[in-house]
Each structure stands twice: as structure tokens, then as C-alpha cells.
Chain A
Amino acid sequence: MATHSSKALFSVGRTSFSYIGLSKSTSRVTYATALSVNNPPRTKGFPDRNGRGTFPRRPKREPGEPRTEKMAPDQDWTSVYPAATPFRPNSVPLPVRMGYPVKGGVPPLKKGNLELIKIPNFLHLTPAAIRKHCEALKPFCTEWPSALDTDPKCDERFPVKIESREFVSAGPSIRNPAARGVQLSIKLSSLNLDDHARKKMLKLVGERYCRDTDVLTIRADSCPLRQQNYDYAMYLLTVLYHESWKTEAWEAEKTVADMEEYMWEDSPSQKNILELLMRMKVSEGDGQEAREQLLERRDVQEYKDSVTRLKNEGESESSMLQYKEAVKKVLNV
């Protein structure tokens, strides 16, 4: 029906239909423009008298030569693209091609290329521009203290580490709820704790302590602001520290099951080995002094070390070997 080429000129026509049983006539009138698309450009201002009398159009300017022709090779590019702007093919003197190639051909030219406009370009961030920006930003920067060049030195002077996150993204909202969390890490060896305080601190803290690295991690993200979460984390650290130094009355009821690590003194193992040795050497006589003498013997000490190591560190090749040697020595096997 409609022709693809623009050479055809439709004429004004009228078509009439008649329905069966009805004497209605529908008239359809088609209109056409006398000017087709690919006509040679006419002189301006004169509408075609054959057409419907279009109003005079604005005179059409010819596009001049692109700016790239006038660009010198040593121009200041930072003034051509000072800020982030879309790609302008007439301002970029590069023969860029982008897009899926036509069959048997090459990717399309840069002129009128939507792919080049869609993709973010970095023409405003050439190395020269970056250097200029950094020169202007340098007065606001401060230097890192040269005495803190290695990590161990930093950890020694500044043991408390505060970790926080910031997010930058585009979307309906610029806020990110994960940005208010604060994580405080500290090595317990840098705190002033004695034996009892350290054990109590470990019990209070539970899973937040990592035995391998000796790091206590407190994560605070229940408050709405990051500053509040930071204050809460510091408050928790303070409270934990002071509470662990306190000794309550009920702490005296600590049983063997509450102990963090195995203690050989007053354990069934000690009782057993002492009774065994007493029965083996009946001639030395019974009594407290005899037991103490036995305890001070070197092989009994070795036995104590091996049993403690087995219980605390678990079973392994070397610990079992050590236990075997100690038992053989004690029993003179």
C-alpha cells in the first residue's frame, strides 16, 4: 500500500464504500504532500504552488566545517573538555569507530553514532587534566608521619582500629543502611589486663574474640548514626575493661567445668599418678611430704607437661609421642 521510495506522488483520491443493506457511504480521503523527502533542496522561502501552501520555512543553514579541522596538535585539550560532557564528534579529532559492523564492513563512523554518546567518556580526565587538578588539590593534603612507616609500629602506638564504610551509587535514594555500622578491633595484649581480668574478659566477650590473632572485635550497628555507633562501641569496650577487673563474690564458686584451660594441680590425673607411685615405692612411707617430694621429681613434671599439653592442645602426633615418653620414664618401663 504505502510505497517505500519517495519518488511516488500520491494524488488526492476518494474511495467510497457501500454496505450491504445500508445506503451509507463512507468516504476516505487521503492526503499527500507534494514535496517528498529526497527532493533536491529548493531555494528558500518559496513554497511550492502546487502544494497546499505551506507557510514559509526558516532558511536552512549549511553546517560549517567541523571544529576538528581548526584544532592544532598542541592545543590545550583541558579547555576543549573541561568537565564531563557527552561525546561530540565534531569536537574530538580522533577517527573513532564504534558499534557492531555491517555485514562484510566496518563499525560505523563517529558521526551520528549513538553508541559513542551512550558510553561514559573520560575525555575530561586526560593525564594533563588530572595533573592540573592534583596541583590545585595539593595544598589541602597532609603528610603521613614518617615515623609510622610499618604496620607493627602503627599497631604498637595505635592499637584501636575503627572500620567504617561509605557508599556512592545512583538510585532512588542516596542513603545506604549499611553505612552506619562501625567495627572496633583491638588486640587484648595492648590492654592493661592481669590474669583474672583477661579470663573474665574472654568469658564476657564470647565469640567476638579470635584466639589465633588475639583480636577482640566489637560490631555496633544498632544506632541510626555512625557517630552514635562509634560512641556505643567505645562505651562497650570501657565497660568490658572495668567489669573484667572487678571480682564478684560469686566468682569464688568457679568449678572445674568453668575453667578455660586444663590445670593439672588437684586433678584426677595428679591423684592417680601420685597414688600409683606411692604404691610402687611403699618403703618411702606415707604422708604429705612424700607426695610433695614425688611432685618435685623431674619425670613427674614431664608427665604433668605432657598431660596438660594433650588436654589443652588436643591430640596430635608430637603430643602423643611426648606423653608416651613421659609415661615410660615415670613408670621406669
Chain B
Amino acid sequence: MAALMAVRRQFLACFRLTRDISLVRCLGTSFVHGKCNLNRILLSQTPSTHFHTSALVSTASAVTVTEEPDTLLQKVVILVKGHDRAVLDSYEFFASLAAQELGINVSQVSEPRKDIERMTLLKSIHIFKKHRVQYEMRTHYRRIEISHITGCTAQVYLEYIQRNLPEGVAMEVTKTAMEKVPDHILEPMWKPQPADEPNQ
């Protein structure tokens, strides 16, 4: 009984956090020093003297808490694909360090087998059937599995990871969310007597 109450209190506490635009601008400018142009974070450029003073002040106040209950994700599987294994190694280091810093539980990091797609084509545009040329495309994979993460944290983490995805690397994210049994399925609508069931 006590466990149930504790669980219910914690569910009420898991509210969805929304991102405020002013804080995003703040975040973006705190990384910009000098005249670097940020293509990924779509922000208006603010002069470098502006952000130092406002960064700390608006961080705490720009986080809004809504009444909507947070989704609970039992498992998030991130599969990254690329042609270069070294790039995927570096990306895996980055992703796992980021998860560690944010307090996310990474349950498994594995490397599925690479796929090689080969094609054998004619070397010449006309005749010379005996002379061919062979090409191959190698796709390397990396699989990161995260368990027991809330919807807000997952959104933050995935957005961070995806914004820093290198060129030539693709990602596939599989989320498994868990929900309660809906209220309308708890009890049957019809009375379980064969005598007087309502007509469809």
C-alpha cells in the first residue's frame, strides 16, 4: 500500500517540461564564441557580450512545467549506420558520455555485423563481357540501448544526439513506451449473461 502511494506521488511529479524559446537562444549563444556561425541551432545571432550576463539568470526561470503527465519509455534503441567504423566509434563515445552526464541508464552498447553490398558491372560501355569491375558498399552499425527513461529526458537526449550526428551517418530510433490499461477496457460493457445481450 505504501509502495503504491509512493509510486503515485512520483507519477504526479513527472510532469512534462517544455522548452522556452529564450532559453534555447541562451543555450545556443553560450556555445558560440567569436564569429562562429551555427547552422544547426537556428537562432538569431547575439553579440558575444550579451550572453554572459543573461545565461545564468534565465536558465532557472525559463523551464516551464505543465500538468500533462510525462510518458515513460521502457526502452529506447538507437541504431546508427555509417560507412566508416572510426566515425561510429567516436560517435559511440560521445553518445555514451552524454548519457552518463545526463544520468541516463545505458544498458547495452553493441556492434551488429556489417553489411556489404557488392555489385559486379561491365567495365566497358560496349561489349567486352569478360571484363568487369566490382564495387562494394560497406555499412557499419552501432546499437545503443537505453532503458527506463522518461519522455522529457529522452526528447532532450535524442535531440542533442541528433543535432551532433556527423555527416554520412544515419540513425534509427525505436521507442517502447509503456502505458496503463485504458479505463474503458477495465470492465466489459455487456452483461455476461447469454439471455439478454443487446443487439449490435
The interface of chain A, by Cβ under 8 A from chain B, is 78-79, 82-85, 119-120, 122, 125, 127, 130-149, 151, 154, 157-170, 186, 190-192, 194, 196-197, 234, 237-238, 241-242, 245-248, 252
Question: What's the Cα separation between A197 and B190 when bound, in Å?
Answer: 12
The interface of chain B, by Cβ under 8 A from chain A, is 3, 6-7, 10-11, 13-15, 17, 19, 27, 30-34, 36-40, 59-60, 63, 70, 72, 74, 84, 86-87, 90-91, 94, 97-98, 101-103, 105, 148-150, 152-153, 156-158, 160, 162, 164-182, 184-190, 192, 194, 197
A140 touches B185 (CB 8 A): no
* Least CB distance, B93 to chain A, in whole angstroms: 8
B14, B74, B187: the one within 8 Å of A192 (CB):
B187
A170, A197, A245: the one within 8 Å of B170 (CB):
A170
Contacts of B36 in A (CB 8 A): 82-83, 85
* Least CB distance, B1 to chain A, in whole angstroms: 13
Question: What's the Cα separation between A159 and B181 when bound, in Å?
Answer: 7
User: Which single residue of chain B is at the shortest CB-CB distance from A76?
Assistant: B33
Q: Known A158-B72, A246-B190; judge A84-B59 contact (CB<8 A).
A: no
Question: What's the Cα separation between A154 and B179 when bound, in Å?
Answer: 9
Question: What's the Cα separation between A194 and B189 when bound, in Å?
Answer: 14
B102 touches A84 (CB 8 A): no
Question: What's the Cα separation between A142 and B156 when bound, in Å?
Answer: 10
Question: What's the Cα separation between A333 and B63 when bound, in Å?
Answer: 82
Q: Known A82-B33, A127-B97; judge A119-B188 contact (CB<8 A).
A: no
A137, A192, A252: the one within 8 Å of B102 (CB):
A137
* Least CB distance, B173 to chain A, in whole angstroms: 4
Question: What's the Cα separation between A84 and B40 when bound, in Å?
Answer: 9
Contacts of A170 in B (CB 8 A): 167-168, 170
Contacts of A151 in B (CB 8 A): 74
Question: What's the Cα separation between A84 and B19 when bound, in Å?
Answer: 23
Question: What's the Cα separation between A125 and B101 when bound, in Å?
Answer: 14
B152 touches A141 (CB 8 A): yes
Contacts of B157 in A (CB 8 A): 141
Q: Known A148-B72, A168-B162, A247-B197; judge A162-B172 contact (CB<8 A).
A: no
Question: What's the Cα separation between A161 and B169 when bound, in Å?
Answer: 29
* Least CB distance, A188 to chain B, in whole angstroms: 11
A162 touches B176 (CB 8 A): yes
Q: Known A139-B60, A141-B156; judge A147-B10 contact (CB<8 A).
A: yes
B188 touches A82 (CB 8 A): no
A241 touches B165 (CB 8 A): no
B188 touches A142 (CB 8 A): no
A169 touches B63 (CB 8 A): no
B98 touches A142 (CB 8 A): no
A247 touches B94 (CB 8 A): no
A120, A136, A192, A241: the one within 8 Å of B167 (CB):
A120
- Given A79-B34, A141-B150; 15 other pairs, CB 8 A cutoff: A82-B33, A122-B166, A131-B101, A135-B101, A141-B152, A142-B17, A142-B70, A143-B14, A145-B10, A160-B180, A160-B182, A161-B74, A161-B178, A168-B173, A238-B182
Q: What are 20 sample pairs from A and B whose C-beta atoms fall under 8 A apart?
A: A122-B90, A122-B166, A125-B90, A139-B63, A140-B153, A143-B150, A145-B13, A151-B74, A159-B178, A161-B179, A162-B176, A163-B174, A165-B172, A165-B173, A167-B172, A168-B162, A168-B170, A192-B187, A197-B192, A246-B197
